[in-house]
Amino acid sequence: MNYSEYLNLPKLLALQHPRSAPPEHDEMLFIVIHQTYELWFKLMLHELERIRSELSAGDLYGSIAGFQRVRTVMKTLVAQLDILETMTPMSFTSFRDRLDTSSGFQSYQYRELEFVLGYKRPEVLKYYPPDLPGHAEMQKRLREPTVIDHFYDFLAAQGAKIPDELRRRDLTHANQPNPQVQDEILRLYHDRPDLAILFEAMIDFDEGLQEWRYRHVKLVERTIGSKTGTGGSPGVDFLKKSLFLPAFADLWAVRVRM
């Protein structure tokens, strides 16, 4: 075994196909950065799967370490946007037509991440019809318990009373914030400093996700202004709507009472 074989390098390095003719220099950057994001999304899904099992197994240290890792990946994703911001709007315009209707909007791994984190929106499934990649993955994720459902297992094992309707909820819907869960989290924040470390690691990750949304919308604004998106949305105005959307709403809601 050698380095190239182990990493499947010849295949990996043959996957970048700029479409501009004559070639536009920055199209390679655009492709490489999106492919890199998809690899990090893949890793995050892998890590979140382990975090879910660790939460249900009551593994405090494992889940803290897991959230610290995905938080750090999130920070890297945010920082990587700096590289794309070295591309001018004119440069992007020179090859934007080559994207046709393709858009980050159709990143099925990003949607998987949203579903795994509890933000399930069955209406996004229309972007993944049976003949397109991502269909099977989205269907599977739609029916799976989310990180938040596994977090309920964790809280229950620490003596928290989780309302029955949450334990028996329809998994194909988004998790909703719940006042009783918030009371329990607040109590644990006060009584259990060890658990507070996990809660803060979750908030760190969540803040990273919101940072990504902010940096992405600013990147979009400086690159295409108020143009509509290649995916067909109104662009910046559409993206602004989800700017402050938390993943772990209960953990944010208790802060005003601390």
Q: Which residues bind ligand HEM (CB under 6 A)?
A: 33-34, 37, 84, 92, 103-105, 107, 110, 216, 219-220, 223-224, 229-233, 235, 238-239, 242
For residue 39, the minimal CB distance to ligand HEM (Å) is: 10
**Which contacts qualify for 15-18: CB closer than 8 Å, 24 or more apart?**
18/95, 18/98
Supply the minimum distance, in Å, between the C-beta of residue 171 and ligand HEM.
21
* Closer of 114 and 149 to ligand HEM (Cβ): 114
Nearer to ligand HEM, 119 or 154 (CB): 119
Q: How far apart are CA 186 and CA 58, in angstroms?
A: 19
Position with the least CB separation from ligand HEM: 229
Rank residues 159 and 232 by Cβ distance to ligand HEM and give the closer one: 232
**Least distance CB 14 / ligand HEM (angstroms):** 21
Q: Minimum distance between the CB of residue 196 and ligand HEM, rounded to whole angstroms? A: 30
**Structural tokens at position 38:** 């998809």
Of the pair 180, 223, the CB lying nearest ligand HEM is at 223
Nearer to ligand HEM, 160 or 224 (CB): 224
| Radius of gyration, CA atoms only, the chain | 20
> What are the φ/ψ torsions at residue 141 (nearest 5 degrees)?
-65, -35
Least CB distance to ligand HEM at residue 104 (A):
2
The DSSP 8-state label assigned to residue 235 in this structure reads T
Q: 168-206: b or e for each residue (b if 16 or more CB lie within 10 Å)?
A: ebeeeebbeebeebbebbbebbeeeeebeebbebbbbbb
